[in-house]
Structure 1
């Protein structure tokens, strides 16, 4: 476990090094993770598999296809800090390892849509067949649930604007529960609970499993995020409708990446089997 304290990452890398050097196949998660990138510089595996249903997967494949450096979408276009410069060689080495070549195969397994596929990369869609077979169908309630996002924590969306939007959505659709993103701060969630009356739920399992196990609202409200791509296939045949509220440009902070607006629109625009609100809920 690499998150067990200051020295844990180094101990984990040391423990994994012999295994990584012998492995023929390596399966990894978030390719933007500095930790994952560091591990990629160690392995000589001929078969690399990225398993990730996050929105970053869309950007990762595009950057790989264009030969660009690996940068998370909400930081793209910003100034490179000292940490970025220090770890730049590691990121560059990881990108080279994730580029298919002679004797090296790269596969991406994801529910996210991929438009630009690099030559030699195999993309396999996650249709959540195992999830549907293993869990549910859920008991569907008559109300609505709202899915949170960490766009405030990443500096993309203004906190007050976000609170106004959540309040408006909850009131307009009768939402009673708010499923928090794992990166949402305790302070923000407390404020949401106090000012909107929503029950804050911190899921211990992926939301797709929580939704399949139920109970779940007949309408699930979400801002542009992974769930607008993962929940529709996970809940196929249940009658649950996933509704997306776009991010109004006026909600973006002055520090938001120049890429933010277009990327968030793309997340919503490429989603299938979702309902888009006719207009965003007024904020402020």
Structure 2
């Protein structure tokens, strides 16, 4: 394990261990992309060590070399756990160390997990995290003394995180914003505020955001680095492209944003209009909803065992990929660069939103679609 951060030359040397905390397969994928870009880890290309050492005048974006330990804060959802295990195996194949934590395995699990990680956190000069909104991650941020913090994409939530950080707002997920803070929110508020302060660059702390998402506002002093999915394109594909269309599922129903009946009707109309045959389910979609989709639309429901960027890159994949506003409208064009696959995104009609949807939901979803590059925009379909 590396020495504590603080002395020049510690960061970026071969003895340094970067700690990364992930809770989803996409976060883990984006840590692998970051490591590939930085030359971190045995399988990352052996970039030269020493750049960006503390006190050396370099930015966190220049830091390279060293080792990577991925800490998986495992959720309880079976689909997510399955994808995480597959991604963890890919990380090991790249030469990275993976530490699997049953972080939610009972009432005592969080205390045991945080206690077991405290020493590593205090020693690590660089920490990478995938979800700054996570209470688990926010708790861990109160322990770390790292001088380099890196936030990798956790999907479209990254866009909201960057905007909130730039405006000095409290960190709240976009689909919850607008509601009153609950008792747990108020109890956790001091920790969340501390996490936001630690994610703000300072004289002795550098913050990097590694993202494929568009950034309207960039917080002062934060380094933003583009994720081009170079590792994915190097490791997989190019895919075999079929003549038909595939559809990408979303968890907007499960998060209470979109009405289930409207969603099913929209999927049915899109599938019929574009000749889609397969529906790639989001890992958080409910079994009941997927069964209903299969019965009412005739689509073949596919439960991917890896993030869709890797599934699409491995192929076979349809010539057209249909999606609602989501992360993949930004990431798939990058992962599939150089292929003939077209990504088409269908807008969410305001009438599809539930009464409980955040007041910001429509504007946020429109922004996700409108800011996507290299996609074909479809008007919202009539669901009658």
Same fold (TM over 0.5): yes
Q: Give the alignment of 1:76-115 within 5 angstroms.
A: 76-115=177-216
2:142 match: 41
Distance 1:53 1:273, change over 3 A: farther
> Contact between 1:53 and 1:112, CA under 8 Å: does it hold in 2?
no
Answer yes or no: is 1:25 the counterpart of 2:108. no
Which residue of structure 1 aligns with residue 109 of structure 2? Answer: 8
Task: For residue 9 of structure 1, report the CA deviation from its aligned partner.
Answer: 2.3
TM-score, reference length from structure 1: 0.98
Instruction: Tell me the distance in 1 between the aligned counterparts of 2:238 and 2:104.
Output: 35
Q: CA deviation at 1:133?
A: 1.3
Residue 282 of structure 1 is matched in structure 2 by 382
- Structure 2: stretches of 5+ with no match in the other structure: 1-100
Which of structures 1 and 2 has the bigger CA Rg?
Answer: 2
CA contact (8 A) 1:151 1:157 kept: yes
Aligned to 1:55: 156
The answer to whether structure 1 residue 199 and structure 2 residue 300 are counterparts is yes
- Other structure's SS at 2:175 match: helix
- Residues 1:251 and 2:365 aligned together: no
Q: Output aligned runs, 1:225-264, within 5 Å.
A: 225-264=326-365
CA RMSD of aligned residues (A): 0.9
Which residue, 60, 68, 71 being the options, matches 2:169?
A: 68
RCO (CA 8 Å, sep 6+): is it higher in 1 or 2?
A: 1
Q: 1:189 & 1:4 partners in 2: Cα distance? A: 27
Shift of 1:104: 0.2
Establish whether residue 165 from structure 1 lines up as the match of residue 295 from structure 2.
no
- Structure 1 segments unaligned to the other structure (5+ residues): none
* Structure 1: 4+ residue segments shifted above 6 A: none
Deviation at residue 165 of structure 1 after TM alignment: 0.4
Q: 1:97-176 alignment to 2 at 5 Å?
A: 97-176=198-277
Q: CA deviation at 1:52?
A: 1.3
1:48-90 CA distance string (max 9 Å, x none): 0011141000000000000000000011111111121111111
* Structure 1 residue 200: Cα displacement: 1.0
TM-score normalised over the length of structure 2? 0.73
Deviations 1:103-154 (A, max 9, x none): 1000000111111111110000100112111110001011111001111111
